[in-house]
Amino acid sequence: MATVKARLGRVTLLRKRLPAPVVAAGAWFRRSGVAAQILTLVIVVAVFAIGTRGKYLSWANIQVILSLAAIPAIFAIGLHPTIVLGGIDLSIQGVASLCAVFVGLLLKNQFNSNDVGLWIIPISIAIGGTAGVVSGLLNTGLRIPSFIATLGMSWILYGMAVYVGRAVNVQILDTRIEKFASSTLFGVPQIAILAVVFAAIVQVVEDRTRFGRYMYAIGGDEVIAKQAGVNVNRTKIAVFTVAGIIYGLGSLLLACRLGVATSRMGLTLLFPTVTAVAVGGVALTGGIGGAKNAALGALIVTALNDGLVLMHVSPYIQQAVNGVVLIAAVALTIDRKKLGFIK
């Protein structure tokens, strides 16, 4: 059997020509799954640092980028598990709008006498989670493609939000969450720290729990996962539920930061969130990419837009740049072997 060992060991032996630490560091960097994203970020930063003659690298600007990236990152962390499954969740705008309306009407405001205080956190979780469960049930129970099930859900929820919220702007008078979000800890915006903690928790769940492992197995090959014993439907429903919960928390933060809750709040969220997830390297074909990718994607997109603003690029051109970035990111990450036809 010694010969067998030698023969099969050759694959690993090939790599031993370089010094071991270099190989190990290279392998770790490659295996980390965020190598390309970190390189992209470095390039974006370098380009704008030169383009703005260093203004881009000022601590004040970095603080702006970090605090602006936090909420998109949280939304992206919510969206990406549904893409890892091989599906997608387009319900974010509806969930966020409905949640924002409830945040406005339940926290202390000038329209009614409600004041639930920090109970708003579990309430947001419940609203988002319920929406996610319904999306998951539509996807698994009625076997509707997630793309359509969640698109429909988005408009159902948005309709409810407009009906309940009467399309008025509600000023939020309870500023505790806003104060937490806009404060800094050792100069770092606390909301950015919150996003990082969020990403870390979700990443650990993905790497080290059965739920996470099953999610990736389904994204890799649903049939094989099922054969191996994965409860596919239960995992899918759980993924959509988690996504909904995170949207709920994200829209709570967003509404508090804006200080105004309105049913229109969600309407611009889908595009930047999908862009962030794609730029982060989460493959639209499923099975690849984690919370760290989603968060980094949001950071890259925010850093890019911040730089464009600093360089006084027209906002319309900025939008076009974002479109190009989305398509380019998908082109680089999609696994075309998995797609029979591009529809």
Q: Give contact residues for another protein (rule: CB under 8 A).
A: 1, 3-5, 7-9, 11-12, 31, 204, 207-210, 213-214, 216-217, 219-221, 224-225, 227-230, 287-288
For another protein, which is the closer residue by CB, 183 or 209? 209
Least distance to another protein, CB of residue 162, Å = 39
* Least gap, CB of 209 to another protein (angstroms): 6
Query: What does the alpha-carbon distance between residue 103 and residue 120 come to, in Å, rounded to a whole number?
Result: 7
Kindly report the backbone phi and psi dihedral angles of residue 90, in degrees, each rounded to the nearest multiple of 5, phi listed first.
-100, 10
Contact at 8 Å (CB) between 257 and 36?
A: no
Our CA dihedral for 300, 331, 283, 151, rounded to 10 degrees, sits at 90
| In the complex, minimum distance from the CB of residue 230 to another protein, in angstroms, rounded to a whole number | 6
Q: CA–CA separation, 254 vs 266, rounded Å?
A: 9
The closest of 237, 4, 40 to 131, measured between CA atoms, is 237
Shortest Å, Cβ 219 to another protein: 7
Task: Report the amino acid identity of residue 190.
Answer: Q
- Rank residues 128 and 287 by Cβ distance to another protein and give the closer one: 287
Identity of the residue, 193 or 232, whose beta carbon is nearer to another protein in the bound complex: 232
Minimum Å gap between C-beta 30 and another protein is 11
Nearer to another protein, 80 or 302 (CB): 80
The residue type found at 120 is I
Q: How far apart are CA 343 and CA 333, in angstroms?
A: 17
Nearer to another protein, 173 or 204 (CB): 204
**E strand spans, 175-286:** 184-185, 188-189, 260-261
Identify which of residues 97 and 241 has a Cβ nearer to another protein in the complex. Answer: 241
Closest separation in Å from C-beta 282 to another protein? 12
Q: What secondary structure does DSSP assign to 63-131, as a single string?
A: HHHHHHHHHHHHHHHHHHHHHHTT----THHHHHHHHHHHHHHHSSBSSSS---GGGHHHHHHHHHHHH
**In the complex with another protein, which residue's Cβ is closer, 3 or 113?**
3
Nearer to another protein, 56 or 216 (CB): 216
193 near 200, Cβ under 8 Å? no
Task: Give the shortest CB-4-to-another protein separation in angstroms.
Answer: 5
For tokens 């060992």, name the residue: 5
Minimum distance between the CB of residue 194 and another protein, rounded to whole angstroms?
22
Q: Report the run of H or E that residue 42 belongs to, with start and end.
A: helix 35-51
